[in-house]
């Protein structure tokens, strides 16, 4: 993008390679043939290589230029100082929560020896990331907030955003990351009812000792008769050492702490912001005496 300042004496444009921002001076107002190179600002000091600017949209008076990074989801703004003795650029970034990075991707066609943590499905095709990074920037709107980090499908330790930046623990490089506020998911079933000769079991004591849970592409939650007495459903079973935990699609039978009560409810809690879809719950229930 190219823009001219209000009095027609300055011309600005963004170089598409190297993240350079150029300023020219025109000795005759609005006559580009009189333009001579004045100053070149290297945006690389403010913006990482992964955010190299690609084009821009200018404000009518030429005092601001807006552009998107080439790889991330941030929008940047350049404020162009009109005073010749100043000529400073102020770079400010913006972000949304959760902020998501998706680096350069290419389709894989039978490549061997690839790290499985870099491979995922998108649009019905197997893809592999070709760029990885350990530091994530552009989180200024979350400064001072404690956030959860999901990197390559694995949950990282919570971190507090400082200066709009976080670094993956031990500088581990990741290909895909999602950052946002932490939350807990709670599910509680309704009072259980089964066919009974008297017609109902609502007035009887009940106990559930085992339940079959049908999952779809899920990590494993906690489960129990209430929110105070739960057991964790173990997720890893067939994965290789060091490999990411796979999402489960299928059935899993769990023994839960038995508890006589009047409702026969189940309580499920997912403490992390990870995928969980439950298609069905099939409890093994024991019906006792009247209440």
pLDDT digits (tens, 9 = 90+) for 158-189: 888 888 888 888 777 777 777 888 889 999 99
| Cα–Cα–Cα angle for 240, 182, 265, rounded to 5 degrees | 80
pLDDT digits (tens, 9 = 90+) for 256-271: 988 888 888 999 999 8
**How high is the pLDDT of residue 44?**
55
Give pTM, 2 decimals: 0.53
Cβ-count burial of 21 within 10 angstroms (0-12 exposed, 13-18 middle, 19+ buried)?
A: buried
Q: What is the pLDDT of residue 202?
A: 82
Two tokens, residue 12? 């600005």
What is the C-alpha to C-alpha distance for residues 135 and 181, in angstroms, rounded to an integer?
Answer: 18
Q: Judging by beta carbons within 10 Å of its beta carbon (0-12, 13-18, 19+), is residue 35 exposed, middle or buried?
A: middle
Give the per-residue pLDDT at 64: 67
Distance CA 20, CA 43 (A): 6
Phi, psi angle pair for 181, to nearest 5°: -70, 145
**3-state SS, residue 259:** coil
| DSSP helix/strand/coil, 56 | coil
- Nearest alpha-carbon partner for 59 in 30, 79, 32: 79
Distances (CA, A) of 142 to 145, 147, 181, 244, 262: 5, 8, 9, 28, 45
**Is 233 within 8 Å of 254 (Cβ atoms)?**
yes
Q: How far apart are CA 147 and CA 243, in angstroms?
A: 24
CA–CA dist 148, 155 (Å, integer): 8
| Cβ 177 vs Cβ 100: under 8 Å | yes
Which positions of the chain have pLDDT values less than 70? Answer: 1-3, 5-6, 12-21, 39-135, 137, 242
SS3 label, residue 34: helix
Ordered alpha helix ranges (H), 190-238: none
């Amino acid at each position: 993008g190219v823009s001219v300042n209000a009095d027609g004496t300055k011309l600005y444009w963004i170089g598409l390679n190297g993240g350079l921002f150029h300023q020219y001076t025109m000795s005759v107002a609005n006559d580009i043939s009189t333009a001579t190179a004045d100053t070149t600002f290297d945006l690389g000091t403010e913006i990482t290589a992964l955010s190299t600017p690609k084009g821009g949209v200018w404000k009518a008076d030429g005092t601001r230029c807006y552009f998107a990074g080439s790889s991330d989801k941030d929008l940047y703004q350049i404020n162009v100082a009109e005073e010749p003795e100043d000529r400073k650029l102020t770079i400010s970034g913006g972000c949304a929560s959760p902020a998501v990075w998706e680096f350069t991707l290419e389709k894989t066609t039978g490549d061997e020896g690839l790290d499985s943590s870099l491979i995922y499905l998108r649009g019905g095709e197997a893809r592999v990331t070709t760029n990885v990074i350990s530091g994530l920037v552009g989180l200024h709107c979350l400064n001072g907030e404690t956030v959860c980090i999901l990197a390559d499908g694995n949950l990282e330790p919570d971190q507090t955003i400082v200066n709009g930046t976080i670094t993956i623990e031990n500088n581990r490089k990741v290909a895909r990351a999602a950052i946002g506020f932490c939350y807990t998911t709670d599910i509680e079933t309704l009072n259980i009812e089964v066919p009974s000769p008297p017609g109902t079991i609502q007035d009887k004591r009940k106990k559930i000792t085992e339940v079959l849970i049908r999952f779809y592409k899920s990590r494993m939650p906690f489960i129990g008769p209430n929110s105070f007495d739960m057991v964790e459903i173990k997720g890893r079973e067939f994965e290789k050492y060091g490999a990411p935990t796979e999402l489960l699609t299928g059935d899993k039978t769990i023994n839960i702490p038995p508890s006589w009560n009047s409702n026969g409810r189940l309580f499920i809690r997912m403490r992390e912001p990870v995928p969980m879809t439950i298609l069905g719950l099939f409890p093994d229930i024991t019906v006792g005496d009247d209440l």
